Structure 1
Amino acid sequence: MRLALALLLLLWLSFAGAPARAAEGGIAVVVGKLPGAPTALGRAELLGIYGRKRELWDDRTPIVAINLPASHPLRRDFSLWLFRRTPQDLQSYWNDQYFHGVLPPPVLASEEAVLRFVAATPGAVGYVSLCAVDKRVDVVAVLPASEPAAACPSH
């Protein structure tokens, strides 16, 4: 009986908008509200972008991928989801890429800096807490965060 009630409650909550609230602790991959910006990005596309294998959007605009600092919890979650490795584990990859003339994505110090940069820079893509997203950017992917409460401290 309890299981049936729990399932019924979950079903009701799913239609009442609960998944959107539950996802607030996630990671939002964002782009600026500009013509030609993508509307959705999958893991394979993001892997190409953040691995610096894909350099242009479909409309030939240069891609500018932005990272948070390696010590930031969202960067750790993003790297684990995308590369299946921590930012520290990727150091040897980027050292090797450097000798081939490929630099890692630039790092900005805060989520607000990422939002401002992405909103103002054609071709930019970054990631922030889902709860940090505002009208300046469009969300093209939502990823899980390991610690939703840490990602959205005001919730």
Structure 2
Amino acid sequence: MLLRLASRLLPALLATLVCIAARAADPIAVIVAPSEAGARIDADDLALIFRRKRQYWPDGTRIEPANLAADDPLRLAFSRAVLGAAPAALENYWNEQYFRGIRPPYVLASPAAMLRFVAATPGAIGYVRSCAASADVAVIGYLDDGGHWHRGHVAAPAC
């Protein structure tokens, strides 16, 4: 009986693990408000933006960076790849910046909230899994599963 149960559960478990592994390898799409679709930034620019050291787009619009919650695995991957540190390790940096009058990026509760914020906020920039990017935002680049920056649009895989 135990063997029969295991034979039924094993395929489902394997399928779940394959899906988790595939999602983990999804590139992280860097998204901007539609008004900034032509923005061309490199990895260093991205780090400056998310550290609030670059505050304006070339057209003069204020840059409004947005993060997911500090414990979100996507934010952890993004922070490590772009900023070289986990969100918790940046706490002292943001405390110091706050006393200089510089606020940290907005923190949003979910990828859906990220998409809505970026789509509706002039100058906004954020990130989602590439398969979650919608037509309401512009993808200006992506981070591959190794954390390397690629400028330009990535075709979104099926979620």
Alignment TM class, shorter chain as reference: 0.7 to 0.9
Q: Deviations over 1:99-139 (max 9, x none)?
A: 11111101010001111111111100000011101111111
Q: How does 1:1-155 map to 2 (within 5 A)?
A: 25-34=26-35, 36-145=36-145, 155=159
> What's the TM-score once normalised by structure 1's chain length?
0.75
**Gapped runs of 5+ residues in structure 2?**
1-21, 147-157
CA distance in 2, matches of 1:55, 1:81: 20
Deviation beyond 6 Å, 4+ runs, structure 1: 21-24
> RMSD value over aligned CA atoms?
2.4
> What's the TM-score once normalised by structure 2's chain length?
0.73
Deviation at 1:145, TM superposition (A): 3.9
SS at match of 1:107: strand
Q: CA 1:129–1:117 in 2, change beyond 3 Å: closer, same or farther? A: same
Percent of residue pairs bearing the same amino acid type: 45
Indicate the residue corresponding to 1:8 in structure 2: none
CA distance in 1, matches of 2:120, 2:87: 26
**Gapped runs of 5+ residues in structure 1?**
1-20, 147-153
The count of residues paired between Structure 1 and Structure 2 equals 128
CA distance in 2, matches of 1:127, 1:41: 14
Of structures 1 and 2, the one scoring higher in RCO (CA 8 A, sep 6+) is 1
Higher share of residues assigned strand: 2
1:31–1:140 Cα contact (<8 Å) kept: yes
